[in-house]
Amino acid sequence: MPAKSETALQQLNKITTLHSSVREELSRTIIGQIETLDFLLASLLAGGHCLLIGVPGLAKTLMVSSLAAVTDADFKRIQFTPDLMPSDITGSEILETRSSKKDFRFVHGPVFSNILLADEINRTPPKTQAALLQSMQEKQVTVSGKTYALPDPFFVLATQNPIEQEGTYPLPEAQLDRFMFSLKLEYPSYREELEIIAPSGPGRPVPEELKRRVTRASLLKMQRFLKERYPVADNIKEAAVRIVRESRPETSGLKTISRHIAWGAGPRAGSYLLQGTSAMAALRGKPTADLQDLFDCTYPVLRHRLILNYAGEAEGLRPDDLIREILDTI
């Protein structure tokens, strides 16, 4: 028993060391956005997917490619456009002729990678967006009646531009629910922007020049540790369930929620909330998660799962405003 505890402590130390080393390496290409990077790393450790929302120029794509470079992961990027087809994502079967014999061969699409960047995911029609549904939930794809397993780990990072809505297709709720976190990227601070526009800024290393800080094998080992052996106290589990239930008009005791929310978060939100909380606490070096870790993860887990009704939209409410009120009651 003592050996098992010592091994768990060593694994936790590896996670915190990974956190600091990845932060240090990514700071060579990314200025600021520390909180966003932490959530990206937490979702990677928890085995979830992320949706990044921000205006152009906030280094969304650079952030993802840099993260892939330091984690020794196979990285693919798909630029989502209106003419993109599902087969452009999953792959397709082609007819081959070998020694006068014709046969079909499956050609893997870019979804067969460890980290997949879905750039501007809302610029492609729902039919193509849906090609990611099975892969994000089941880590496999089905083409022509045959099922193909995706590599492990598998991590989808999607980006959206919130200011250009012409010619876009809003993600359906079923698609949004597959994302563990929805992260809002803010403008840099005054000092950060000074550093960004400095002459030395363009000379920063590209992702290919970054050093590998973690292998895929060790990443999978960390994921298993968080899933199987990292302790979560009962009070954290109960608080997570209370938060999710307070987001639903049918079960909430808050008048603001019942008056302004059409649909709240489902059970998957509670599961993601606990997984994200555990990963965030482990990155911070804590032997177990506390309420602060839970509250920090509540915003990115719930903000894309709360659907405002007409009254909520008319009053200009934001999901974050309602989440803050929910947390005040816990």
Whether 134 and 140 have beta carbons less than 8 Å apart is answered as yes
**pLDDT, mean of residues 162-175:** 79
**pLDDT, mean of residues 157-170:** 81
Q: What percent of the chain has pLDDT over 90?
A: 54
36 φ/ψ angles, rounded to the nearest 5 degrees: -65, -45
Supply the pLDDT for residue 194.
87
Distance CA(285)–CA(13), nearest Å, equals 7
For residue 23, pLDDT beyond 60: yes
For residue 1, pLDDT beyond 60: no
For residue 217, pLDDT beyond 70: yes
* Residue 3: band (very low, low, confident or very high) from pLDDT cuts 50, 70, 90: very low
**pLDDT, mean of residues 1-20:** 75
Distance CA(122)–CA(109), nearest Å, equals 20
Whether 225 and 82 have beta carbons less than 8 Å apart is answered as no
* Residue 199: band (very low, low, confident or very high) from pLDDT cuts 50, 70, 90: low
Q: What percent of the chain has pLDDT over 70?
A: 94
Which has the closest alpha carbon to 319: 188, 155, 176, 187? 176
Q: Which residue has the higher pLDDT, 57 or 200?
A: 57
The pTM assigned to this predicted structure is 0.89
Distance CA(318)–CA(282), nearest Å, equals 30
For residue 302, pLDDT beyond 70: yes
* Residue 165: band (very low, low, confident or very high) from pLDDT cuts 50, 70, 90: low
Whether CATH 3.40.50.300 fits 233-330: no
Supply the pLDDT for residue 182.
96
Parallel, antiparallel or unpaired: strands 155-160 and 115-119:
parallel
Supply the pLDDT for residue 170.
85
Instruction: Write out the DSSP string of 242-296.
Output: HHHHHTSTTT---HHHHHHEEE---HHHHHHHHHHHHHHHHHTT-SS--HHHHHH
92 φ/ψ angles, rounded to the nearest 5 degrees: -155, 170
Domain boundaries, the chain: 233-330
**Longest pairwise C-alpha distance within the chain:** 72
Supply the pLDDT for residue 2.
43
For residue 101, pLDDT beyond 60: yes
Whether 233 and 288 have beta carbons less than 8 Å apart is answered as yes
**pLDDT, mean of residues 70-88:** 90
**pLDDT, mean of residues 257-267:** 92
Supply the pLDDT for residue 58.
86
